[in-house]
Structure 1
Amino acid sequence: MGGTLRVGIVGAGKISGQYGATLSRLPGLAVTAVADLDPERARALADQHPGARVATLPELLAADDVDVVLNLTTPAGHAAVALAAIAAGKHVYGEKPLAAESADGLAIAEAAAAAGVRAACAPDTVLGTGVQTARAALESGAIGTALAATAFMTVPGHERWHPDPEFYYQRGGGPLLDMGPYYLTTLVHLLGPVRRVAGMSSRPRNERTIADGPRAGTSFPVDVDSHVTGLLEHEGGALTTMIMSFDIWATRLPYIEVYGSSGSLSVPDPNRFAGDVRLHPAAAEHWTTLEPSAGYAGAGRGVGLLDLSQALSEDRPHRTGVDVALHVLDVMESMQASAYSGSSVTVTTTCRRPERVDGVIELT
């Protein structure tokens, strides 16, 4: 497929602003329609893109000038919108997680394969210079054989800054399903898929209070565990220790570190596209910062759609494939199952490790 990839956006909530800002400056992409339950929000987003119009969901799905549906609904709505887009013959790119449950994620993957369309899923932060430079260092043998890793996401909770945070604490949310995709997708890119997990989790508070915005002071129930810790065994043998938490006020823990037979590698925040990659060879006295050597420079949320567009043109797999997203969802569900059962769980899915971005690609 050549030419411009025409994008229809479903969901004009908070994250849509970041996508909109990126899509407006990337080549070969054009937003043509926006649908949202709130017409005013849809209009505000459409106005950022010359020629874009407000549409109902059925109108957007039936439109001839929409090639791919960008699904920015809340997690509970991901599967329904994705399946409807696929049924309409559209490619689909969704926010993470792929779905609220693995069964729905599998349905998306199978429907896309049967329809001959592409299904893709965030995060695309893994395509930035941070994770891609770290991967290039690993593949160059900079720390020898990867033996272990740590991954930590520890914050006090999204209700401190988000005006409508309830969905983060409902089915499909929590620190694991909300932030876990960034960390687990990064770990898949660096160390490959996961074959076994062991997890524990807790819910220290059954109620949260919104701290900012017009609804400040409003309390709401917590329906999911808000602190999750686990161990991951990768298919290549490396072991990862992981903590995902909405219950930690402050920390000095790293984001992700990988430990090898001849050194250590510090990986920047996987929720961002760039950041310092630091290397500590076994014989060195200090950490050194690596120059970016791979990935999209100047990227923002939505660069995965650029990769999808190019993959369609080049007839190659896209790097935000549904197989990775489904595997990540399965890993997270397996961690939850392990936490509830008290036993380790074998992960039933696997995935293709996406190709590394070749060199640094500058985006203006």
Structure 2
Amino acid sequence: MTATLPTPDLSVEALAEVTAEIAATAADYDRTGDLPWKGVEAAHRAGLLTATVGRQFGGPGLGPRDTARILTAIGEGDASVGLLASNLLISHAGQAARPHWPAAYYDDLLLRSQSGPALVNAVRAEPELGAPARGGLPKTTATRTGDGWVLNGRKAYATGGTGLAYHVVWAVADEPDGDPDRPRVGHLIVPGDLPGITWVDTWDHLGLRASNTHDVIYDGVRLPADAFVEIPRGPDGIYRDPAAAAGPGSFGHPALYIGVARAARTAFAEFARNRVPSALGKPIAGTERIQAVAGEIDLQVVQAETLLHGALLRLEAGDPIAAELSNLKVAIARSVIAATQTAVAALGNPGLSRHNPLERHLRDALCIRVHPPQEDAVLIAGGRRILQK
């Protein structure tokens, strides 16, 4: 199927309008924990949620830098919407680069995307295993049958919950002629409305409260033969999870959190302009102390944005920086958290009040640390790399 999907307006003004519309409902969704459909729909109407659909499928086929700008704008409005959008745009970009979905399923996804948001997410973590990037194989199994697969297992942290149109589920293949010591590992493309899928509402998190990152159980879910997409082992025959190191397509999550830091910068400035202590008799924005704090926040945001887009520009230029990408993700995370923490710390109690959006921005910003590769693993790998002969 070739869809007809719009090329979004990525002008500063157009993105700012989308950010404002998404932000208008962010606090309410943060309190209720409901899926932030109004924000998702705003991003969809602007054409942002299909921006990475490949041109061969009738989409605009936008690249990593445009995707980063989109996700920063969405994340500035609502981090939960940004996470849902990031997972979706990464999925479309992967399909554009290397078509691997069953044709009927991707046709259906594109058809849905023409009339409204159709969310996709890679469902990978498990309650016992934890983060796949830490190593190990999933307990979730795809058992080969005469005409397809049967999926069984339980997953954790499945962002999107019942709002997902499709799941991309990490599993081990259980095949009659397979090698039990070296089973195939891959993802299954799973329609979200199939029988045998049960959601368990486990998400009660510090941040990203509207992301609906619940557990999901697959019990005898039947899929066609082409639903399984193998992840190849390395030349040495060892399976390594692709998320264990950052790659060219893994900067969507950092981009959305830069949006969170930008929102914190704006919230701090608005508070400073409007706060007039009786002892001072003028807005605190006129004091050098607050001006210095605002400058520090701005420095951290600019640093994060420059690291993000500098890395993507270097990749476009063909610079050999693959080994540095994980370090850059960690550095961006540090800047995002530093910006939001600085804003909250400078305001004291008002910065921690739920009447002020800064406390929500801080909670959301801290979630950047959970996305692989995590900081400790990056530092150990980098240290080993530079210390070896």
Q: Which has the higher contact order (CA 8 A, sep 6+)?
A: 1
The structure number with the bigger radius of gyration is 2
| Structure ranking higher in helix proportion | 2
| Structure ranking higher in strand proportion | 1
TM-score by length of 2: 0.26
TM-score by length of 1: 0.27
